[in-house]
Structure 1
Amino acid sequence: MRPPARLRRPGRAARPSRAEQPPRAGRPRRRGLSGTLPATLRGRLALLALVTTVLWVALLTAAFNVALHEILRRQADDLLRTRAAAVAATVDIRADGTIAVREPGDDGALDSGIWIYRGGHVVERPAAPEPLQRGADALAGKGTRFADTSTPRSTRLYAMPLSSGGVQVATVVAAASLEPYLLTARSALAGSLGLALLLVGGVYLVTRMVIGRALRPVSTMSDQASRWSRYGAAQRFGAREARPTELAALAANLDQLLDRQAAVLRHEQQLTAELSHELRNPLARITAETDWLTARPRTADQSRSSHRAIAAAATQMAQICRTLLSEARQPSAAAAGRCAALDVARAVADRSRAEHPEAPPVTASGEPVDVGVTPELLERVLAPLLDNARRYAARAITLECVRLPDGARVFVADDGPGVPAEHAEAVFEAGRRFGSEADAHDGAGLGLPLARRLARAAGGDITLVPAPRGARFQVTLPPG
């Protein structure tokens, strides 16, 4: 039969179980072993050194005291053997089996703690407490034996048999107090423990100090690297002969990390500048068409034409962003694809004539050849070259495609003032412009570096080759 359920008092809520109770305020929760470790590396290394030192010192202390105890025991045994042998030299065993004890001139030292037995009967015994007497009696006639007694004080007994004709006739029992030896052992134990504590404490303090001094350069280098990376400074740790090998390796790794971070920052800045540079013309066209539409009422045909121009510029902007961002994310994969170089060159030339009717005309010619890049990427390579040619050309700009056994070449030439031979590589540096008209336009000097970077990402290259007149750029492309 079940016991009746206990009725709860009205108005009193049930107490939650122990598992449901929230933790009391102010009571810290238990943490695992990892939560008890010091937070700093110096503290953890010092703790590791402390634990290692404690284990090693404890082992040495235990080994020292065990060895000392063994040495003291052997000394006590040697003393007992010596005394028993001295007494045995005074005992004569007669032919009839009786014994005679010769009394030496000074036998006080021999009589203290010495028993002589014939068989199981005592011949001589000293004045000793009853427990010690019983211990000595128990060793009579039983060969060579050692025994210890603790009452009334620690004493060690040694029984030495005396034989005649191979038969034990008598027994000499010697006793020695172990108190001096125990006192020595206790003093050595206390001294070794005190020395161990001092050694452990000293090792811990010295270890923390040494580790702190050893890690101080690491903290300094970490703070410097944090400041340099935060402000984009160009300082580096470099190689120093006085620096230890580990710190030299750390400095080299930090320098590499700072260099990579600086390279990433420069790449982002370059990508931003290139995007703004490439989007400038489509944005300008959209702005011009919008201003033209809002200036005064237009016919339906004019509005449709402007809308088509705005849509084409927006599409071109999207294509530019897609191409540049794809190349920035995966430079090696941006070159995957195939196109007809001559068709792309003609399309770029047609668009240039339509968008810049006042500029010198652009003509495209050459051999039909397939190249291993996408049409969008090839347009982005040729567009900055045409933009540069329009700025300096006098009467004509030409695009020429040439087939090669290992790919193709596209030449972009103009009949302008050209580029001095000593600046053939400098024109591909960001922000560099040359020629008498260099300051007459609003270019940022980013088009040619962008074109070369895109061409190299596609497995090709762009170089400035000699020409009778003007500038002639050679675009090398991989085979399709």
Structure 2
Amino acid sequence: MPVTLRPHSIRARVTLVAAGLSLIVFTLIGIGLDFAVRTRIQDGIYADSERIATYWINWEPISAPRPATTTRIDLLQFVDSRGRVLAASKAAGTTPITTVRPPADDRIRHGTSCAKSGCVVFTAVRLPPLETNLLWGGEPHFVYAGMAQPPILAGHRLELLTAAGVVLASGLASWVAWWVVGRTLRPVAEIRARTAEITLSDLSMRVPQPPGRDEIAQLARTTNRTLTRLEEAVNQQRQFASVVSHELRSPVAALYTRLEEAQLYPDEVDLRDTVDGAMATTKRLQAIINDLLVLARLRTAVPSPPEPIDLGALVAEEAANQLHGPPVRTYATGPVMVLGNRIQLIGVLNNLLVNARRHASSAVDVTTTRSDGYAVVIVADDGDGIAEQDRERVFEPFVRLADARQRDPGGSGLGLAICRGIVGAHHGTLNVEDSPQGACFVMRLPLMDADLSPTP
């Protein structure tokens, strides 16, 4: 199995990158600093030695056997063209500092000369031609001024100090990066630890949310919102499953009881009556299952492409199909165009109309109009109405009021829940509102030409 050298920790990776970059940067800085220090020290020595040599030429007698010096430039020599030391300071001795001569086109030359005893930084100055001609018959003479090379330039001490500074600075930068990244990622570790504790059986826990508006704080807030939605969805699913099992248990138990009775007492039970009862119970189960499938598809299926629909014409068409029972009177204020699924909206209107006619005393009024960018369909009956505390309960799955159970014993209690789900999928709302008499269902859908962004 190949071994990877790449660290898995973000903290380690960032620290390695910071260490590499800081090493490169500080190395470049160290090289530049080393060069600047060397140049500055040498330039200072060259300036002092040139000044001392020029001063000696101009003001001291050339024949002075031992020129005195009180500066760091303690090596002074007066040398002829054959390399003989004619005069020298006490520290310079009688051996020439160097054999280097200034070029013919320049009177001054700087340099460093090394021997077994050490290196010397010097300045060589050629005497002026007039003085040379007058005193020595044109034979060139030279003045050397210098000093022993400072220890910081003589060896690799400066380079070692610079390298040590680079290593220390890079180490400090790496430690700072390690500390900063660790402190930054500390909330991530806390979020990870808390997330590991959250299980499907207990979704009430939330991850710690750090202050501020940085990416980690936004991640924590988003995670908590997601956990809240997940908890709500799981609770709804559990409640839905509980209600479904309760609603299915009764007809299944009744069916089982009838069949068991027919099996135990074949001579006393009317077989035809048992089969008819079993068929009725099976139809009820089938209706409940079909409604459950419709409700499940509304929550999970990908919506089909919408089409333009004249809601007023669709209401009139569905009202005309209601043949038996109280009459349905429709009122429209002209074309009311919406975007939606025609089959689903027909199902909603049919369910609302059937429900209204079931509870109406004499008639059902359906009004289609436009209001504030929405198409509004009002289905009102003149029955007993719905109590205010039950106006939201009727949209819950399997919730059936006493009057509904009496008028439609075979109902599943899923019709209004499916209607609200369809309307919600169309970015609309379906509610029970106040009415002078009877129940009043109000459906609102965004108009096709409306400039608004409805909230699902």
Using the size of structure 2 for normalisation, the TM-score is: 0.65
Cα gap change, 1:455 to 1:213, in 2 (>3 Å) = closer
The 10-residue stretch of structure 1 (424-433 or 70-79) with the greater mean CA deviation from structure 2:
424-433
Cα gap change, 1:274 to 1:450, in 2 (>3 Å) = farther
SS at match of 1:145: strand
Alignment pair present for 1:46 and 2:15: yes
How much does 1:173 deviate? 3.3
Q: C-alpha separation between the residues in 2 aligned to 1:457 and 1:197? A: 64
How much does 1:73 deviate? 0.7
Q: C-alpha separation between the residues in 2 aligned to 1:451 and 1:46? A: 58
Do the aligned partners of 2:108 and 2:124 also contact (CA within 8 Å) in 1?
yes
Q: Deviations over 1:65-112 (max 9, x none)?
A: 2111112211321342144224313666xxxxxxx6244685899995
How much does 1:347 deviate? 8.0
Q: Deviations over 1:352-404 (max 9, x none)?
A: xxxxxxxxxx65644599997545665467659978998xx7xx777736353
Cα gap change, 1:290 to 1:437, in 2 (>3 Å) = same
Cα gap change, 1:399 to 1:234, in 2 (>3 Å) = farther
Alignment pair present for 1:154 and 2:122: no
CA RMSD of aligned residues (A): 5.5
Do the aligned partners of 1:461 and 1:477 also contact (CA within 8 Å) in 2?
yes
Tell me what 2:109 maps to.
145
Give the one of 314, 329, 336 matched to 2:300: 329
Q: C-alpha separation between the residues in 2 aligned to 1:411 and 1:221? A: 52
Alignment pair present for 1:180 and 2:150: yes
Q: C-alpha separation between the residues in 2 aligned to 1:373 and 1:65? A: 79
Do the aligned partners of 1:271 and 1:328 also contact (CA within 8 Å) in 2?
no
Residues 258-273 of structure 1 mapped to structure 2, 5 A cutoff: 258-265=227-234, 268-269=237-238
The one-letter amino acid of 1:162's match is L
Give the one of 387, 406, 424 matched to 1:420: 387
SS at match of 1:462: strand
Q: Deviations over 1:276-295 (max 9, x none)?
A: 68978997998799789977
Cα gap change, 1:180 to 1:162, in 2 (>3 Å) = same
The one-letter amino acid of 1:116's match is V
Residues 56-455 of structure 1 mapped to structure 2, 5 A cutoff: 56-89=25-58, 101-103=63-65, 112-117=75-80, 122=84, 124=86, 135-136=99-100, 143-152=107-116, 153-165=118-130, 170-174=140-144, 176-182=146-152, 186-228=156-198, 230-234=200-204, 236=206, 243-246=211-214, 247-265=216-234, 268-269=237-238, 316=287, 319-330=290-301, 333=304, 363=326, 365-367=328-330, 374-375=342-343, 378-379=346-347, 400=364, 402=366, 404-405=368-369, 408-411=377-380, 414-415=383-384, 418-421=385-388, 423=389, 425-428=391-394, 430=396, 448-455=416-423
Cα gap change, 1:375 to 1:78, in 2 (>3 Å) = closer
Cα gap change, 1:293 to 1:172, in 2 (>3 Å) = farther
The 10-residue stretch of structure 1 (399-408 or 376-385) with the greater mean CA deviation from structure 2:
376-385
Cα gap change, 1:449 to 1:388, in 2 (>3 Å) = farther
Q: C-alpha separation between the residues in 1 aligned to 2:257 and 2:346? A: 27
The one-letter amino acid of 2:425's match is A
Q: C-alpha separation between the residues in 2 aligned to 1:344 and 1:311? A: 29
Tell me what 2:453 maps to.
none
Do the aligned partners of 1:342 and 1:401 also contact (CA within 8 Å) in 2?
no
SS at match of 1:192: helix
Cα gap change, 1:208 to 1:447, in 2 (>3 Å) = same
Alignment pair present for 1:474 and 2:441: yes
Aligned-residue sequence identity (percent) comes to 16
Cα gap change, 1:467 to 1:450, in 2 (>3 Å) = farther
Q: Deviations over 1:297-353 (max 9, x none)?
A: 857x997x8898689667746753553233213586498697965776798998xxx
Cα gap change, 1:319 to 1:113, in 2 (>3 Å) = same
Cα gap change, 1:87 to 1:334, in 2 (>3 Å) = closer
SS at match of 1:174: strand
Do the aligned partners of 1:141 and 1:161 also contact (CA within 8 Å) in 2?
no
Do the aligned partners of 1:279 and 1:320 also contact (CA within 8 Å) in 2?
no
Gaps of 5+ in 2: 371-375, 449-456
Cα gap change, 1:179 to 1:82, in 2 (>3 Å) = same
In the comparison of the two structures, how many residue pairs are matched? 415
Q: C-alpha separation between the residues in 1 aligned to 2:398 and 2:314? A: 32
